[in-house]
Amino acid sequence: MAPLFSQTLYTWQQISGNWSVVSDNKESYLRENRGRSFNFDYSPLINHNSLITNQEVKFTTLSHSFALNSPASSTTFFTFFNALDYRQFYAVQFTGNANSIHTIALIQSTIKDTTLPKQAKGNFTITTLAAKEVSLEYGTTYTLTISVQGKTINAAIDNAQVLSHTLNEELEGGKIGFASKDCIPIIDNLVVYNGKEIVFADDFSKESIKKIVLQ
């Protein structure tokens, strides 16, 4: 399935890292190839290896498969959504050590001081809205599903709900994407619904990443 943003040349914008669509004899998928990231502290997405859609998406359900490989002693991967810029977004985040993925959390990134320029370092705050201990294996493929029902955000792994949090107001939509640090994520079969309508989908069978090197 080709991305539903086919009217544009690129579906995705690489913020940082080295993202590519990889094809082998059996399948194709999205992969971040560098693993290591650098903490320049301009935004959480620049501090990680990140990829973002070129267009905003309002959704009720988002799902994709993922596997994390080549972990370091501390590993992070998250799927972010409702991104208004590189410092304002929500995300479902996985963290782990060298042995396993041990925590899933719903996080929110906000701007500390809106009067400062975008180039100001450290001008963001990460808040954990909900968290739960898990035991997931590296190299194993899981399916993450994020659903939004009114003000409530739910996260499920392989159709089993693990997180739920109710916000003070409903989400208005924004860009979506992926970010990782100290691991090699493999992502596939992204499908995004708004109600019963598929508003965005990508099986990563075609390269559609615009790359501007930031680091």
Distance CA 5, CA 167 (A): 29
**Along the 215 residues of the chain, how does pLDDT read in single tens digits?**
445 544 445 799 999 999 999 998 789 999 999 999 988 888 999 999 999 999 999 999 999 999 999 999 999 999 999 999 999 999 999 999 999 999 999 999 999 999 999 889 999 999 999 999 999 999 999 999 999 999 999 999 999 999 999 999 999 999 999 999 999 999 999 999 999 999 999 999 988 898 765 44
- 3-state class of 168 per DSSP? coil
Backbone phi and psi for residue 53, each to the nearest 5 degrees, phi listed first: -70, 155
- Provide the residue type at 91 as one letter: A
> Which residues lie below 8 Å from residue 67, measured CB to CB, with a gap of 6+?
138, 139, 140, 141, 142, 185, 186
Q: Where are the beta strands (DSSP E) in the chain?
A: 12-14, 19-23, 28-32, 49-53, 61-69, 74-85, 88-97, 101-111, 124-136, 142-149, 152-157, 160-166, 175-181, 184-194, 197-202, 209-211
Give domain limits for the chain: 12-211
Closest to 184 in 3D by CA, of 13, 44, 17, 27: 17
Closest to 94 in 3D by CA, of 111, 61, 110, 71: 71
Yes or no: say if 47 and 37 are a contact pair by the CB < 8 Å rule. yes
Distance of CA 116 to the CA centre of its chain: 26
Q: What is the DSSP string of 196-209?
A: TEEEEEE-S-S--E
Closest to 152 in 3D by CA, of 124, 130, 125, 176: 130
- Provide the residue type at 37 as one letter: S
Reported as a single tens digit per residue, the pLDDT across 56-81 is 999 999 999 999 999 999 999 999 99
Q: What is the pLDDT of residue 157?
A: 99
Reported as a single tens digit per residue, the pLDDT across 86-120 is 999 999 999 999 999 999 999 999 999 999 998 89
- Hey, what are 18's tokens? 């080295």
Return the CATH number of the domain spanning residue range 12-211.
Answer: 2.60.120.560
Yes or no: say if 85 and 13 are a contact pair by the CB < 8 Å rule. no
Backbone phi and psi for residue 47, each to the nearest 5 degrees, phi listed first: -70, -25
For the chain, the first-to-last Cα distance in angstroms comes to 31
- Provide the residue type at 214 as one letter: L
